Amino acid sequence: MRVLIIGGTGVISTGISNQLLERGGCVLTLFNRGKTAPEITGQFNVVTGDRTDFKAFESWAAGQKMFDAVIDMVAFKPAEVESAVRAFKGRTSQYVFCSTTDVYTKPAAQYPVVEEAEREPAQEFGYAYDRRSVSKYSKRRTRAGNSRPRSYGPRKPTWIGWFTLSGRTHSGLTG
């Protein structure tokens, strides 16, 4: 299986990468800025680039073989997902956008927050507001039948390893 992770050095993507490699049979490629060394065990490829340089990103993707899955950990604005959809149309059978619990309205009407809960983050919280826009874009593309994007986000606290406040993983404990 050929998998591309856009990003790939954060806590969640590190856990995904390690699980894919532990299962075996995966050719893993990370596409990122090269600012943080991956903490991944096993054989994988790293491509350094700027996904917000849409022309260069899409040109790179056009030269790649088919990926079985593209997992996008760092799409923060709709234009970034639009670029990824253009880049991987016909080059992957699955495009997965990883969202965040920050897209839900705070404070929530009820806890625990469920999938159907209101998603209206404050505009002042730019990160959440932009990610919510990306989620809406992905859903519109899915409903229109234009592609098969999937949007996933941890709906409860997810811990992948021990980590410091800087977010770096220190062991493989999961919980």
With respect to residue 42, please indicate whether it lies within any of the assigned structural domains.
yes
**Domain containing residue 61: CATH number:** 3.40.50.720
| Domain membership flag for residue 168 | no
Tell me, yes or no, whether 162 lies in a domain: no
Q: Exposure of 3 by Cβ count < 10 A (0-12 exposed, 13-18 middle, 19+ buried)?
A: buried
Does 175 map to a domain?
Answer: no
67 located within any domain: yes
pTM exceeding the 0.75 threshold for the entire prediction: no
Q: How many domains does the chain have?
A: 1
Whole-number pLDDT of residue 129 = 56
Q: What is the pLDDT along the chain (175 residues), one digit of tens a residue?
A: 999 999 999 888 999 999 999 999 999 999 999 999 999 999 999 999 999 999 999 999 999 999 999 999 988 888 888 899 889 988 998 888 787 777 777 788 888 877 777 777 677 766 665 666 666 655 555 444 444 444 444 444 443 343 333 344 444 433 3
Is residue 112 in a domain? yes
Confidence (pLDDT) at 160: 39
The reported pLDDT for the residue numbered 137 is: 58
Cα separation, 78 vs 67, in Å, equals 22
Burial class (CB in 10 A: 0-12, 13-18, 19+), 18: buried
Q: Is 127 part of a structural domain of the chain?
A: yes
Write out the residue range of the structural domain in which residue 87 sits. Answer: 2-152
Domain-embedded: residue 49: yes
